[in-house]
Amino acid sequence: MYLGRDENGKRIDHNETFHGERTKAKIRAAELEVELKRRTGPKHLTLNLGEYLEKWLKDIQGTVSDRTYETYKWHVKRIIQL
C-alpha cells in the first residue's frame, strides 16, 4: 500500500502478508486504509500552498526559459494573493 513520501521525497510503501479468511483480510485492509487517512490528513502538512509554490519556483529556476519562469512567477503571485 502506498503511504506517500517522506521528508526527502522517498516513496513509503507498506506490505503485509495476511494468513486467514478473506473476510478478516478485508477487515485488516479497511483498518490499514483508516490508518493511512489518519496519517495523510491535514495535520501532517508542513507547507501551505503559497510556501510550496515559492519552493517550486526556486526549484525550477534555471530549468525553464526566463519568459516561462516569469509567467509561472506571475501566476504564483496571483494564486497567493487570492
Closest CA to 18 of 7, 8, 27: 27
Domain that holds residue 65: 49-81
pLDDT tens profile 26-74: 898 888 888 777 766 555 557 788 889 999 999 999 999 999 999 999 9
1: cell is: 500500500
Position 20 confidence tier, pLDDT thresholds 50, 70, 90:
confident
Residues 37 and 62 in one domain: no
Q: How many domains does the chain have?
A: 2
Q: Is pLDDT above 90 for 13?
A: no
For residues 47 and 55, give the distance between their C-alpha atoms in angstroms, rounded to a whole number: 10
Q: What pLDDT shows up at residue 39?
A: 66
Q: Are 47 and 55 in contact (CB under 8 A)?
A: yes
Largest CA distance in the chain: 60
Q: Tell whether 40 and 56 lie within a shared domain.
A: no
